[in-house]
């Protein structure tokens, strides 16, 4: 459910349509996006916009009750992993193998592609409720 200040109309529209447990994926520039899933491509060049900047902006609008990440993120990109965890203190975190993560993105309402070049900089946000 929508919370605040996002100005990207495509992302804002998707969030406004999300109900409890609907999913939104934010990904790095290399994650394959399923053909039948809405793609919101923000990538301009390497690092712009970053995964964390995009995530922070989306979190201003979307109430999240659970996230799904690839288990490889913790080992391969530990700094990003630790930074991301700071945003989800009381949120359930589900870790899956990267291949399963890619499969789950098919059920997302949309995939937001960033300019991030950090391996496994991907998260699926499961919508919560604001009441």
Q: Is 28 annotated as a binding residue?
A: yes
Residue 45 is classified by DSSP as B
The partner residues of 93 in beta bridges, in order of sequence, read: 67
Q: Is 120 annotated as a binding residue?
A: yes
Q: Is 41 annotated as a binding residue?
A: no
List active site positions. 20
Give start and end residues of each alpha helix (H) in 18-112. 51-59, 72-76, 78-85, 98-104
Length of the chain: 131
The partner residues of 126 in beta bridges, in order of sequence, read: 23, 66
Distance, CA of 16 to CA of 43 (rounded, Å): 22
**Residue ranges for the binding site?**
28, 98, 120-122
**Residue ranges for the binding site for substrate?**
28, 98, 120-122
């Amino acid at each position: 459910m929508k919370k605040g200040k996002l100005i990207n109309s495509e992302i804002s529209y998707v969030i406004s349509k999300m109900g409890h447990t609907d999913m939104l994926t934010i990904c790095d520039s290399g994650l394959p996006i399923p053909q039948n899933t809405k793609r919101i491509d923000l990538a301009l060049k390497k690092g712009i916009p970053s995964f964390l900047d995009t995530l922070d902006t989306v979190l201003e609008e979307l109430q999240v009750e659970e996230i799904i990440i690839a288990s490889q993120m913790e080992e391969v990109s530990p700094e990003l992993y630790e930074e991301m965890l700071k945003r989800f203190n009381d949120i359930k975190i589900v870790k899956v193998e990267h291949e399963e993560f890619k499969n789950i993105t098919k059920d997302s309402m949309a995939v937001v592609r960033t300019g991030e070049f950090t391996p496994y900089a991907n998260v699926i946000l499961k919508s919560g409720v604001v009441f």
